[in-house]
């Protein structure tokens, strides 16, 4: 009779303890997903470029209004702590050095997908929607597009928009921060569609391609790999 070994699941507290005692090394690119320690995809050249450019844009435009955090964890539950590429956090009275970022602190999460598109559209999307993250972007490196997910509802997002080259995109809570998609290597820039007005920044309408709701979370025909799982078994 074939037996199946039980898989050991971990809490966030156990996960961090493993780092403290050296079981997990600082160089390990892992995150905690539903109690499993998951190895993240290697970071490629295009992935680095897009993350760096987005970081620069957000830091410049959101200074004093929100906190921009790059490739750092967010606590979604007792057994889940992913590391999105970029997160935009609310300003709060309690410093983040005293209490980590939780779902309720998060205004926007961004995943840049070079080889992880299917994973980001499925596992990550469900996690973020279940946690009530109000807005989630997936930057598709191959297609040079941004998928915008809003209005979380029962493990999915009701409002899904895909923005392609020539269009522009803004965070829902910061409509004045308009990022234009171009065909340049860095691909995301401050939008030329934004002009200064007496009342503040004003954005003109932007072209977008909208998906129907049934398309939320579906895999693309574009080449996409998946993140590799590395289950840590009980010793």
CATH number for the domain that contains residue 179: 3.90.1570.10
Query: Would you say residue 16 lies in a domain?
Result: no
Is residue 2 very low, low, confident or very high in pLDDT (cuts 50, 70, 90)? low
Whole-number mean pLDDT of the chain? 82
pLDDT at 91 over 50: yes
Mean pLDDT of 222-229: 39
Query: Would you say residue 8 lies in a domain?
Result: no
Residue 1's pLDDT is what? 59
Query: Would you say residue 151 lies in a domain?
Result: yes
pLDDT at 60 over 90: yes
Residue 227's pLDDT is what? 42
Per-residue pLDDT of 12-29, as tens digits, reads: 999 999 999 999 999 999
Q: What is the DSSP string of the chain?
A: ----PPPPP--HHHHHHHHHTTSS-TT--EEEETTEEEEPPPP-HHHHHHHHHHHHHHHHHHTTT-EEEES---B-BTTBB---SEEEE---SS-TTTS--BGGGEEEEEEEESS-HHHIIIIIHHHHHHTT-SEEEEEETTTTEEEEEEEEETTEEEEEEEE-TT-EE--TT-TT--EEE-SSSS-EEE-TTEEEETTEEEE-----EEPPGGGTTPPPSS----PPB------
Query: Would you say residue 4 lies in a domain?
Result: no
Query: Would you say residue 11 lies in a domain?
Result: no
Query: Would you say residue 82 lies in a domain?
Result: yes
Range of the domain at 147: 41-214
Query: Would you say residue 52 lies in a domain?
Result: yes
Domain total of the chain: 1
pLDDT at 52 over 90: yes
Residue 8's pLDDT is what? 87
Mean pLDDT of 49-77: 96
Query: Would you say residue 207 lies in a domain?
Result: yes
Residue 186's pLDDT is what? 54
């Amino acid at each position: 009779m074939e037996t199946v070994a039980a898989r050991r699941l971990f809490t966030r507290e156990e996960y961090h303890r493993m780092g403290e005692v050296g079981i997990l090394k600082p160089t390990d690119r892992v995150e905690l997903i539903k109690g499993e320690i998951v190895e993240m995809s290697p970071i490629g050249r295009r992935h680095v470029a897009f993350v760096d450019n987005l970081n620069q844009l957000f830091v410049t435009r959101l200074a004093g209004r929100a906190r921009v955090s790059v490739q750092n964890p967010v606590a979604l539950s007792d057994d889940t702590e992913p590391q999105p590429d970029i997160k935009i956090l609310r300003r709060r009275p309690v410093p983040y050095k005293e209490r980590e970022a939780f779902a309720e602190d998060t205004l926007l999460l961004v995943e840049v997908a070079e080889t992880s598109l299917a994973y980001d559209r499925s596992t990550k999307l469900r996690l973020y929607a279940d946690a009530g993250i109000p807005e989630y972007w997936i930057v598709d490196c191959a297609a040079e597009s941004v998928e915008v997910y809003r209005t979380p509802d029962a493990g999915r997002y009701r409002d899904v928009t895909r923005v392609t080259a020539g269009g522009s995109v803004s965070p829902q809570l910061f409509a004045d921060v308009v990022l234009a998609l171009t065909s340049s290597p860095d691909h995301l820039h401050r939008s030329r569609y934004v002009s200064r007005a007496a009342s503040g920044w004003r954005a003109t309408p932007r072209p977008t391609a909208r998906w129907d709701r049934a398309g939320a979370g579906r895999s693309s025909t574009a080449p996409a790999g998946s993140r590799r799982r590395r289950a840590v078994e009980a010793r």
